[in-house]
Structure 1
Amino acid sequence: MDSPILFCRVLGPIDVAIEGVSADLGGLRSRRALAALSAADGAAVTDEDLIEQIWEDRRPGNVVQGLRAIIWRLRAALGSEAGSRYLHRGRGGYALAIPEASTDRHQLPTLVTGALHHLARGRPVEAVTDLEAAVALWRGEPWEDLGPMPELTGIRSGLTELHDVAIEELQAARLAVTDPARTAPDTVRAIAALTEAVVHTPYRERRWELLALALYRSGRQAEALSSLRRIRTTLREHVGIEPGPSLRNLEQRILRQDPDLLLPAAARCRC
């Protein structure tokens, strides 16, 4: 009989679903143990490293026995079949061996890469589908249960960057859709998402570029130019730099009302 379908989510609090139902992972220590194992990406984690992540500097006297009890509870939470298959002990320690396709940390780059491939080949509708799925994976800081860990800094930064790219390129894909039935609602969604995005990360110029383009395509030229002035002021006052060439070029094209900024006539809308 096939093993139960298991999916591990680490883009936020740790969560494991068996056939679509979240497993009861127990308290903070059990969650930390599973998060530490998932962060190892299938490699064995020594008892000492697990103990440090679970208890930090508040170790009980019977800490090894406590670790064994946590592993037993995690296996029980995953189910007898999945627990024994995916969470096992090797020579180097315990390992959580889950296929990459069954983890959100690996699904995220796969979806973003696929979407960029679609965009480069003029398939924005397919890109929208992939990027909406990518954005939906994000629930917070990767491995939130573990707190600050220097060894996770690089991968957390990489995943956060992928999430930022997914947000931006989702709006780019929406703005590239030429189906007249979708243009208006997609543009409205893009403007709303980008208006929020530039508040959360005001120094990412790609977001301002897409926002200005979306506003211009909606017949809101003054607002588009105002948004470009805002980012210029923000960069000058807070970072001490001028906007990059993409933003400067877009401003000039809007000022001269470059027709190439608009979609084909049949797909245009006023939102």
Structure 2
Amino acid sequence: MTTERPPALFFRILGPTQVERDGATLGIGGRVSRRMLAGLIAAAGQPVSDDAMAEHIWEHPPARVVETLRVIAWRLREALGPDGRMLLPRTESGYALLLRPGMTDGDLFGERVARGIAQLHNGDPAAAATTFEAALALWRGEPWADLGGSLQLMGPRHALAELFEAASEELLAARLADGDTATVIAAARTAVAAGPYRERRWELLALALYRGGRQAEALAELRRARQLLVRDIGVEPGPALRSLERRILAHDPGLLAPSVRERLYA
């Protein structure tokens, strides 16, 4: 499914929990309501038991958990409006939030990243860059921020965070493929400083330097990457970095930007 823009009722979990209708933010209440809603979204349509929901919401649950949850759910249904209240049923196993694919910013983020990767692989780096930028613009902070350090969300949070890092890197790759070498050199240096063990960032920095006519600097950065990886985590660079170094030393024409390669070898 490809969602060009959010549906009428849209749920945001890439940061503090929010709900929008036609782009306008709804008032869903305070921390307790946001935590309940975040816990329901995290369950991906499965019912959440009262005990599990109480753990999401409170450090010290109230004496009348079931009654309190009923009040919170009622208020959320009122906030969601006539077209949204049926999305939050009470089942035999607890409350559930019945969302269709594409109704959360997490869904839309994943769709846009996948589309950007496809555009880049299909030789349209300008479109890919625009798509990656649109994906990254959805990111407002830690996913499910209202739920704090929930152990149940470690896996989903890590998956989204990894996708965010990959999208950031592939945005640089798209810009580099589109010929914006100087911008990529500066951005890749910042990215390497922020994530020095992510080899893709070193690869993009070295390739950008090489395309900018700075072969010696490119090789120096690859040597620096190797020294850091060996010293800090005890591993040699992966095949992508090793191959790039060999190709730079050999002045491989395939490393040139497509526009340059076409001009030189037409």
Q: Specify if TM > 0.5.
A: yes
Contact 1:131 1:167 in 2 (8 A): yes
Q: Separation in 1 of the partners of 2:185 and 2:74? A: 49
Q: Separation in 2 of the partners of 1:187 and 1:22? A: 39
Aligned-partner residue type, residue 30 of structure 2: G
Shift of 1:27: 1.8
Q: Which residue of 2 aligns with 1:68?
A: 70
Distance 1:38 1:76, change over 3 A: same
* Ranges in structure 2 where 5+ consecutive residues have no aligned partner: 1-6
Correspondent of 1:245 among 216, 233, 239 = 239
Distance 1:150 1:136, change over 3 A: same
Aligned-partner residue type, residue 156 of structure 1: R
Q: Separation in 1 of the partners of 2:18 and 2:158? A: 20
Q: Separation in 1 of the partners of 2:224 and 2:15? A: 32
With normalisation by structure 2, the TM-score equals 0.87
Q: Separation in 1 of the partners of 2:25 and 2:132? A: 24
Aligned-partner residue type, residue 195 of structure 2: T
Fraction of identical pairs, as percent? 52
Distance 1:189 1:101, change over 3 A: farther
Q: Separation in 2 of the partners of 1:106 and 1:130? A: 14
Q: Which residue of 1 aligns with 2:58?
A: 55
Shift of 1:55: 1.0
With normalisation by structure 1, the TM-score equals 0.86
Shift of 1:267: 8.8
Q: Which residue of 2 aligns with 1:180?
A: none
Contact 1:74 1:83 in 2 (8 A): no
- Number of residue pairs matched? 256
Contact 1:29 1:54 in 2 (8 A): yes
Q: Within 5 Å, give how 1:1-271 maps onto structure 2.
A: 5-56=8-59, 58-78=60-80, 80-177=81-178, 183=179, 186-263=180-257, 264-265=259-260
Q: Separation in 2 of the partners of 1:218 and 1:30? A: 52
Contact 1:195 1:211 in 2 (8 A): yes
SS where residue 157 of structure 1 aligns?
helix
Distance 1:73 1:193, change over 3 A: farther
Q: Separation in 2 of the partners of 1:224 and 1:132? A: 26
Q: Separation in 2 of the partners of 1:266 and 1:254? A: 15
Q: Separation in 2 of the partners of 1:72 and 1:189? A: 51
Q: Separation in 2 of the partners of 1:87 and 1:149? A: 22
Aligned-partner residue type, residue 189 of structure 1: T
SS where residue 20 of structure 2 aligns?
strand
Farther-moved stretch of structure 1 (9-18 vs 84-93): 84-93
* Ranges in structure 1 where 5+ consecutive residues have no aligned partner: 178-182
